[in-house]
Amino acid sequence: MKPSPLQLERHFFTKILVEAHPDAEATNQGELHAQVEVARGTNDARKYQLTLCLKLQPVTEKKPPYTAELHIVGLVRVVDAWPEEKVQQLVQANGPALLYGAAREMLCNLTSRGPWPMVCLNSVTFVELRAAIEAPGGPVATATPS
């Protein structure tokens, strides 16, 4: 196997909030919203700090079994061999995906100890969110991952 050109050097959670709702409707899973912030390193143009904020919220007035909010920060580096003109694209599309996997596992672990069945977030793509990060007003983007 070949290593990824985007290396996750470190990640950590700055917020983890999971609430179980005893009066929930079991079939209502809620809706996932994501916000991504991207900041380029000052000393190394190939280092970035990414922040992914995920919120699992009710879609209707009926409560889902769980609501949650997770904030995860990742420090990533793009290998020197990666073409400079493709660095931003790589970081903005693949960086949040790396953090999402860690957040998904954390949510699975926490909800597996709750009164309702475990929540395992669906796989998503951040490619469309990347376009929002590049738009005027970026480097913050908010979307419902698809």
Q: Where are the domains of the chain?
A: 6-139
Neighbour tally for 27: CB within 10 Å: 8
Express each pLDDT in 66-115 by its tens digit: 999 999 999 999 999 999 999 999 999 999 999 999 999 999 999 999 99
Q: What are the tokens at 34?
A: 């994501």
Give pLDDT, residue 60: 82
What phi and psi values does residue 114 have, to the nearest 5 degrees? -95, -175
Spatial distance between the Cα atoms of 115 and 103, rounded to a whole number of angstroms: 20
Label residue 92 exposed, middle or buried (CB < 10 Å: 0-12, 13-18, 19+). buried
Give pLDDT, residue 129: 64
* CATH value of 6-139 in 3.30.300.20, 3.40.50.300, 3.30.70.250, 3.10.420.10: 3.10.420.10
Which range has highest mean pLDDT (15-19, 58-62, 131-135)?
15-19
pLDDT (mean) for 136-144: 50
pTM for this predicted structure: 0.86
Give pLDDT, residue 44: 92
